[in-house]
């Protein structure tokens, strides 16, 4: 049996167990996917190292990582794959001979979902809400696609500043800015990306006021539960082209399942399964 799972907070409603287990069965694999919800289990963030060590001792083949641990888990890795180094975050861990190898499948997952879901989207000026672990992967994906001006908005100014510095060094031809939410002017932007947890079932609401969204914007929300966040509802009511996080979650999940099991999943089949 292959043991895998997901570490995070407020994840009990996650579709990942069904997504991974159904695709594993289709591949002829006996795989279990367990949720390690730190909130539900009464665990502190400081317990992360202990939980990871426990999974290693129990013989897990690997696991996924979500909010709020994608960056906190990096120092626990024995090795970082190039994808994790580039994104500055880990969302997939493979355990090989007792060694923890951190990967990031969020970056290609988001990049591919944006290309497929919003073909031809203007990339001159993009506003990104959120500069955490998922935000780091999303920002790298946006800049790799050729975004010329990326504006980061995050309540943690130090975190946003550190990400901006890293991105500026990696993509010298682009301009990366940090803007406080109170100073944000969305009017000149082509697109808006929500890479915060605001809008999730456990964190309802919108990360920016509804009147900050206009018809000329395209909008991408990386949240997939619920399928339509309040932010997406507002954007679509104004005529914006918009996508939810389904494409990203399926893309990253297919890549993660392949990393953990060594088998090649069928992403289209996984998308149909999730739908």
Catalytic positions, written as ranges: 70
The response to whether 206 counts as a known ligand-binding position is no
The response to whether 14 counts as a known ligand-binding position is yes
d(CA 109, CA 185): 28
Count of residues for the chain? 275
Among 65, 53, 68, smallest CA distance to 99 is for 53
The response to whether 222 counts as a known ligand-binding position is yes
The response to whether 16 counts as a known ligand-binding position is yes
The response to whether 98 counts as a known ligand-binding position is no
The response to whether 161 counts as a known ligand-binding position is no
The response to whether 91 counts as a known ligand-binding position is yes
The response to whether 134 counts as a known ligand-binding position is yes
The response to whether 186 counts as a known ligand-binding position is no
The response to whether 131 counts as a known ligand-binding position is yes
Residue ranges for the known binding site are 14-16, 66, 91, 106, 130-134, 222, 224, 245, 252
List binding-site positions for NADP(+): 130-134, 222, 245
- Residues annotated within the binding site for shikimate are 14-16, 66, 91, 106, 224, 252
């Amino acid at each position: 049996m292959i043991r895998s799972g997901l570490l995070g907070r407020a994840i009990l409603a996650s579709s990942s167990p069904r997504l991974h287990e159904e695709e594993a069965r289709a591949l002829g694999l006996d795989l279990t996917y367990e949720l390690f919800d730190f909130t539900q289990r009464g665990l502190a963030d400081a317990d992360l190292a202990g939980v990871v060590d426990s999974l290693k001792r129990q013989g897990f083949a690997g696991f996924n990582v979500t909010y709020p641990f994608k960056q906190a888990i990096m120092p626990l890795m024995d090795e970082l794959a190039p994808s994790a180094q580039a994104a500055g975050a880990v969302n997939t861990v493979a355990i090989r001979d007792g060694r923890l190898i951190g990967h990031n499948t969020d970056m290609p997952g988001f990049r591919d979902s944006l290309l497929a879901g919003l073909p031809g989207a203007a990339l001159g000026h993009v506003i990104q809400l959120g500069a955490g672990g998922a935000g780091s992967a999303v920002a790298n994906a946006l800049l790799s696609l050729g975004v010329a001006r990326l504006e980061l908005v995050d309540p943690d100014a130090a975190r946003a500043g550190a990400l901006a510095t890293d991105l500026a060094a990696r993509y010298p031809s682009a301009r990366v800015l940090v803007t406080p939410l109170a100073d944000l002017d969305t009017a000149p932007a082509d697109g808006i990306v929500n890479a915060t947890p605001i809008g999730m079932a456990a964190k309802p609401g919108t990360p920016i006021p509804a009147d900050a969204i206009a018809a000329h914007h395209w909008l991408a929300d990386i949240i997939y539960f619920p399928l339509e966040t309040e932010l997406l509802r507002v954007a679509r009511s104004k005529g914006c082209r918009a996508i939810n996080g389904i494409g990203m979650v399926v893309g990253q999940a297919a890549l993660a399942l392949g990393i953990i099991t060594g088998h090649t999943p069928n992403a289209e089949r996984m998308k149909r399964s999730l739908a």
